[in-house]
Structure 1
Amino acid sequence: MMTARFFFAVSACLFLLPLSSWGQADAAYAKSIRKHRKHYKKEFLEDQRAPLDRKGVKKLRFYPPDTAFKVTAAFERATGAEPFEMPTYSGATQPYVKYGTATFRLKDTTLQLAVYQSLRLIRMPQYRDHLFIPFKDATNGEQTYGGGRYMDISTADIEEGRLTIDFNKAYNPWCAYSDGYSCPIPPLENHLPVFIRAGELEYQKR
């Protein structure tokens, strides 16, 4: 006959199994984000136009990976969207078209982000599927760059009207590190009234 002590021990183990699985999933996800950020830093060193050298790259800072900021959004493709000139912090403009809108829930709040496609990059075969999500949130000017942050996705990331948005991969525009760059200003429709404590932190120049 199973003793009460044995029964509760088995029950505890069965209860802990799902928690263990979740812990392993979180660890695997954190590892994937660290790998992503390692590649991100490497790109600075491989691009001669980049504003940071090896010393500067070491000063890049990020929020700890947090799966709460990886969300699944309902995506609606824009129909009849007209090309427009997106302002940049240099005063110049860049041609874009609205590709669609992503709607998602984040910490009990329904939010939307417009997804854009660059009319310059679309001419280049390697960037034909590239999509751009510039955004601002309540952390700007406090913990993150005041001018907002960016995310990159691909048209292939949109499947059956769904899109995964991972704010842990949000990064700073080059204007956050140095002057002399034309960085798109996140449109008003992409100003989120919440704190996105994920992705890249404000760069400390000193």
Structure 2
Amino acid sequence: MYEPDPRWVREGRFLPFDTPRPVTVGPAVEGLEHVYDSPGQIEFEPAGTRHRLTAFNGSAPGSLMVLFTDRTSGVTTYAANRSLQIAAPDAEGRVTIDFNRAGNLPCAYTDLATCPLPPAENRLPIAVEAGEKIPLERAGRP
């Protein structure tokens, strides 16, 4: 786990689609595909560059979840994906994106699990040095 860093807590804006859109994503295991309905995208600006992440429904009503990779993927974080739960947007569509809470999915720990890969637009061209790192089970170092 990276040490928590307030620089990785960002304000973003939820941009809802008129109607949810089905998004097909690849799997961590070949031969499968995952299709999720996306309610919209989250726009944010780390380091002065605007990015949009396709969001999916989160675990709590109204909340969101994003799958992403970044320049740490396969280096210090799990190569296939990380996930991030985001609280429901406020009345103006504002959300807080706390990358310190980015977590690994089950496929990060075992070859017996499959997980969805992030859609192409969720492959960030920056190094998000926050959240969970490569698990020890995958040769991560403490």
- TM-score, normalised to structure 1's length? 0.61
Distance, in Å, in 1 between the alignment partners of 2:21 and 2:75 is: 35
Deviation at 1:127, TM superposition (A): 4.9
Q: CA RMSD in A?
A: 1.9
Matched to 1:196, the amino acid is: V
Matches within 5 A, 1:15-164: 62-90=1-29, 91-117=31-57, 127-154=60-87, 157-159=88-90, 160-164=92-96
Structure 1's consecutive aligned runs of 4 or more residues displaced over 6 angstroms after TM superposition are none
Distance 1:66 1:127, change over 3 A: closer
Q: Determine the structure 1 residue equivalent to 2:107.
A: 175
The number of residue pairs the alignment matches comes to: 136
Matching residue of 1:184: 116
TM-score (norm 2): 0.85
Q: Distance in 2 between matches of 1:127 and 1:73?
A: 19
Deviation at 1:108, TM superposition (A): 2.2
CA deviations 1:35-81 (Å, max 9, x no partner) are: xxxxxxxxxxxxxxxxxxxxxxxxxxx00000000000022101234
Deviation at 1:84, TM superposition (A): 3.7
Q: 1:130: Cα distance to partner? A: 4.5
Pick which of 106-115 and 133-142 moved more. 106-115
Cα distance in 1 between the residues matched to 2:35 and 2:45 = 30
Query: Which of 1 and 2 has higher RCO (CA within 8 Å, sep 6+)?
Result: 2
How big is each residue's C-alpha offset from its partner over 1:19-47, in whole Å with a ceiling of 9 and x where there is no partner?
Answer: xxxxxxxxxxxxxxxxxxxxxxxxxxxxx
Assess if the C-alpha contact under 8 Å between 2:83 and 2:105 holds in 1.
yes
Instruction: Name the structure where strand makes up a greater proportion of residues.
Output: 2
Map Cα deviations across residues 107-150 of structure 1 (whole Å, 9 max, x no partner): 222222111137xxxxxxx7544532000100011111111211
More helix by share: 1
Query: Does the residue aligned with 1:201 lie in a helix, a strand or coil?
Result: coil
Amino acid at match of 1:203: P
CA contact (8 A) 2:19 2:39 kept: no
Q: Please give the alpha-carbon distance, in whole angstroms, between the structure 2 residues aligned to 1:180 and 1:64.
A: 29
Unaligned runs of 5+ in 2: none
